[in-house]
Structure 1
Amino acid sequence: MGVVLSRVSNSCRRLFQELVNTCQTVKSIREANSTDSDQSSLALIETKVCKPEEVLIPALPEIPLVERGYITPQQVYNLLNAEAGHPALHDPYYILILDCRSAGRYKQNHLVTGRVSVTVIHPELGCLISCVQLQEFSIILLYAEEGSSPVGSVEARADSPSLQRCFFQLSDLGMDPVIMQGGFLAFHALYPFLCTPHMVLLEHERHALTIYPSEILEGALYQGLQPQASDYRIIKNLHITHVVNATADSSDAFPNALNYLRLHLSDNAQQDLVEALPLAARFISEVLMGEPAGRVLVHCSLGRSRSSAVTLAFLMEHRCWSLLHALRWMKARRACTAPNVNFLRQLLTYEEQLFGSRLTNLDDIRL
């Protein structure tokens, strides 16, 4: 990864770093994300749903194994939709996406804001953009049609020679590119609405892009802003069936089409969450465990504080994660996660109620 310009927010940089970190093995993630006390009291076990009347046994989030140098389509989705005050994708130097397929495939369909790789790294002419310009990008993402073999392996070179050549040319220039696991086919199968046949490069074109809620649990739980909850195209594309409205005064946008839980929360030091947290956690759990399972969007005004407190409560109670590990999971998927101090204190109390003791220190999670 090149030099990051100050125009890209710290939270967006943290999001990418968290996503890159999850590309390591489960063992390295456990070592990086666990304190000594964590190692003695927490075990990496299969995610389970716990009964709220029991004292819960804490578990660590189960991290998928991803080959070094790769990130998953879900991680790419969250990168494309990262925001902290404003959408990161509106910044032309936030992410450089290079489509390493043929020009014909690119013209048919490609990731939004993607470019044909030969316009940047040509197999014969070399780098067509100066190293200084390349260093301005926070993230350089490559993808082929499909494939996830280890970088540099015989299989990878056979499956996607253009991508491998581009990857090593960029690496030789001092860049740190990442590859999308499964390629375009895997991403398009999950997020066709973030693919386009049109080239999107100009500033006004970027600002016209739809920014989607963050995906907290793949194909299940999303968190975002009030305007996103009022955009029916977003609701339809994500197949949202239920909404947790954590605002104080924003009305439910589609009461005849969706099921709502209205919490009427204010983002201040006086707001009491004692009733809202278990109510919301139960609501989300029942939707995700239903037959058929639904999809939930949790939102407040900015998608930072109230909605984060609600989502964290669900992850703590129904995934058996401590507040610390739930917060780490959240921030890796939504960098702008930031419950206010009042909410954090109440979440610590909620953690103690769920697990029978406090597992997280406020100083470790102060944002």
Structure 2
Amino acid sequence: MRGCWDRLMRLPNDLNKMGVLLSRVNNSRRGNSSEPVNTSQTVSRICVREVNNDHSSIIPVQNNERVLVPASPVTTYVERGYVSSQQVYNLLSAEDGQPALYDPYYILILDCRSTERYEESHVVTARAAVTVIHPVLGCLISCIELQKYSIILLYAEEGCSPVGSVKARKDSPDLLHCFFQLSGLGMDPVILLGGFSTFRAFYHFLCTPRMVLLEPERHTLTIYPSEILEEALYQGSASQASDYRIIKNLHITHVVNATANCPDAFPNMLCYLRLCLSDDAQQDLVEALPLASSFINSALRAEPAGRVLVHCSVGRSRSSALTLAFLMEHRRWSLLHALRWLKEKRACSAPNVNFLRQLLIYEELLFGSKLTSLNDILR
């Protein structure tokens, strides 16, 4: 462990060996700007000091000085039977080999508002509830067909009232009708907390007037990176990092590129940390972990606060290791807590065993003791 600590505290000058590249641009373009910035002041160079300036929290245990005090993640309570807008966003962004949304039976979304409101705009792939649960005729889809869906989601225009309450019966009777009809058929539907208006306020780019139901139509949809920290930290793939619509809609300002070969897509528009990493058993992360952690933290604490996208090729292993390092160091979460949080937001996250072992060493350096074992995270 001492050898790893010595290397962390002695970042080499020649970071070309690892492929660390930081691209800096004029900070005046940050915020909600949606257009690329063309500037002749862009500089791409090896730069350690600018991204590795926050090691005060990593103190060598051998000197009997301070170490981080572990904290537990604090989650917003969501009543059983409801899902938050962020949870729905991550459901729509879920990937496992291919985007889950491409599967017509992945999620059945029922818009329980009026037909007119549905036709104006609705959550992508949603169906008007009356095409499934008719007010008079009842369920128009067989139970066998309904059971094929992994998730059934309902939403009204607004509303957080408990199902069955007087206020809920008054505010969204059509939603309640659908909910109890489906429940009576043995289904387990969930309700979007806050309704369509809340979801659209955060994720307007996932709302559309188009009806998208069939598999070929679904393959035309844009799949977004997972939101790890709300309106702050995202994790995804190289293709998502090179999609201008995604960068614009998420207001990304900073990118951690952990690929070996994919170039930075918008060097004149965004601030990049380039870490040329391989997803294999030989890749050393001892320099990459604190660099990425500090870079992300600096971006999120900037004025105005930035938004960071961490990506590798498919957003599973390398990007997960870097995200976990940040959550451990700057949220003070154990590796086990950080990994559980990440898997909840991005189910396909899967750092390779080599990376997990290095993250366990990093955890011990940060907190002064082992908080997690390899068995904890592999079982």
TM-score (norm 2): 0.83
The match for 1:346 is: 358
Match of 2:228 among 205, 213, 216: 216
> Percent identical across equivalent pairs?
75
Query: Which structure 2 residues correspond to residues 161-310 of structure 1 after superposition, within 5 A?
Result: 161-310=173-322
Deviation at 1:67, TM superposition (A): 2.1
State how many pairs are aligned.
318
The match for 1:363 is: 375
Q: Does structure 1 residue 136 correspond to structure 2 residue 148? A: yes
* Cα separation, 1, equivalents of 2:85 and 2:57: 32
* 4+ residue segments displaced more than 2 Å: 50-54
Deviation at 1:222, TM superposition (A): 0.3
Structure 1 unaligned spans of 5+: 1-49
Please list the CA deviations of residues 16-62 of structure 1 after superposition, one character each: whole Å capped at 9, or x if unmatched.
xxxxxxxxxxxxxxxxxxxxxxxxxxxxxxxxxx9344411111100
| SS of 1:199 mapped into structure 2 | coil
Deviation at 1:263, TM superposition (A): 0.6
Q: Is the 8 A contact 1:67 1:148 kept in 2?
A: no
Q: Is the 8 A contact 1:68 1:150 kept in 2?
A: no
* Cα separation, 2, equivalents of 1:148 and 1:359: 38
The match for 1:12 is: none
* Cα separation, 2, equivalents of 1:329 and 1:270: 27
Q: Does structure 1 residue 99 correspond to structure 2 residue 105? A: no
* Cα separation, 2, equivalents of 1:201 and 1:263: 39
Match of 1:327 among 339, 344, 351: 339
Alpha-carbon RMSD: 1.0
* Cα separation, 2, equivalents of 1:156 and 1:264: 53
* Cα separation, 1, equivalents of 2:356 and 2:116: 51
Deviation at 1:309, TM superposition (A): 0.1
Greater C-alpha radius of gyration: 2
The match for 1:30 is: none
| SS of 1:176 mapped into structure 2 | coil
Higher RCO by CA contacts (8 Å cutoff, separation 6 or greater): 2
Deviation at 1:300, TM superposition (A): 0.1
Counterpart code for 1:143: Y
* Cα separation, 2, equivalents of 1:149 and 1:66: 12
* Cα separation, 2, equivalents of 1:153 and 1:361: 46
Please list the CA deviations of residues 182-241 of structure 1 after superposition, one character each: whole Å capped at 9, or x if unmatched.
100000000111000010012211000000000000000000000000001100000000
Counterpart code for 1:359: L
Query: Which structure 2 residues correspond to residues 67-82 of structure 1 after superposition, within 5 A?
Result: 67-82=79-94
The match for 1:51 is: 57
Deviation at 1:122, TM superposition (A): 1.1
Q: Is the 8 A contact 2:131 2:140 kept in 1?
A: yes
Q: Is the 8 A contact 1:68 1:151 kept in 2?
A: no
Q: Is the 8 A contact 1:113 1:201 kept in 2?
A: yes
* Cα separation, 2, equivalents of 1:343 and 1:68: 35
Please list the CA deviations of residues 71-93 of structure 1 after superposition, one character each: whole Å capped at 9, or x if unmatched.
00000000001001100000000
